[in-house]
Amino acid sequence: MRKSISKFGGVLAVPAVLAAIVAAGPSSARAPYTEEELQQQMDSLVESVSLGYDLWHGSKPEMTTNGLACGNCHPDTAASNPQTFPKYMPMFGKVVPFRDMVNWCIETPQLGQALDVNSPEMTAMEAYAFKLHRGLPIEPGLASRQTSSIPVESGKGFPHVPTGLGVDK
């Protein structure tokens, strides 16, 4: 990389800032995150995944009027296929993001009230589903194939003490 830029350096006026970054190698424009900061970020993610876990298993009564929760049909978020979105879904007749499919399931099989797509709750649903599909290839457009969540060892999954209304009340 350094060699390439040097080749064109005389022709292209490389901005001084960029040149400085390149000259400095792999360092970043700000100080690296501290271990404490990284832990705070991970804690926030875990909190969101945890909320998603509860919602997925029925903690919000408004999401159903017939008793069904996401977990009825999608244990461990299996066959929700988040990594294949956005994709064309026949019930919409167009390409939709994962969150639209989540709301379709809430409103149709569960006869419940859809989540605000911009809410922390919807983000949490996505955080949980994507967490259990981590490492699987992103393949938008596969509308008919079932993919499962990643294998989880028996008896232990995402480390979590259930608190949701539909789980342990």
Partner 1 sequence: MSEIENKGRRDFLSIAGKAGLTTLVAQAVGINLGVVDVVRAQTGKRGVEPFRFAIISDAHLYSFDNHKFDQQLIDAVNKVNNMTPKPDFVLFGGDVAQNGTEDQLAKGKEILSKLEMPMKIIPGEHDWYLDMGAAWRGLFGDETWSFDHKGVHFIGMNSILVNDFWTEPGLTDLERMTVMEMLESPIPGPWGVHDKQLEWLAQDVRDLAPDTPVVIFTHSPLWDYYPRWNFQTSDAPEIREILSKFDNVMSYHGHVHQTLYNRIGNMSSVAALSTSWPWPYPPVALAYPETQMNRADPSIATDGQGVQVIDLSGEFEGIVQYKPFEDSLTPFMQDGFKV
Query: Among residues 52 and 71, whose Cβ is nearest to partner 1?
Result: 71
Interaction between residue 152 and partner 1 (CB under 8 A) = yes
Residue of 41, 44, 108, 163 that binds partner 1 (CB under 8 A) = 108
Looking at 13-21, 33-41, 72-80, 115-123, which segment touches partner 1 (CB under 8 A)? 72-80
Nearest to 128 by CA among 159, 107, 105: 159
Residue of 14, 72, 86, 95 that binds partner 1 (CB under 8 A) = 72
How far apart are alpha carbons 67 and 72 in whole angstroms?
10
Interaction between residue 62 and partner 1 (CB under 8 A) = no
Query: Among residues 9 and 140, whose Cβ is nearest to partner 1?
Result: 140
Query: Among residues 70 and 124, whose Cβ is nearest to partner 1?
Result: 70
Minimum Å gap between C-beta 79 and partner 1 is 4
Interaction between residue 78 and partner 1 (CB under 8 A) = yes
Structure tokens at 129: 């589903």
Residue 80 C-alpha from the chain's centroid? 12
Looking at 7-15, 30-38, 44-52, 74-82, which segment touches partner 1 (CB under 8 A)? 74-82
Residue of 18, 19, 20, 79 that binds partner 1 (CB under 8 A) = 79
Half-sphere exposure of 147 (CA within 13 A, CB side): 22
Interaction between residue 73 and partner 1 (CB under 8 A) = yes
**Which amino acid, 77?**
T
Nearest to 163 by CA among 71, 59, 23, 13: 59
How far apart are alpha carbons 112 and 156 in whole angstroms?
30
Query: Among residues 34 and 144, whose Cβ is nearest to partner 1?
Result: 144
Interaction between residue 168 and partner 1 (CB under 8 A) = yes
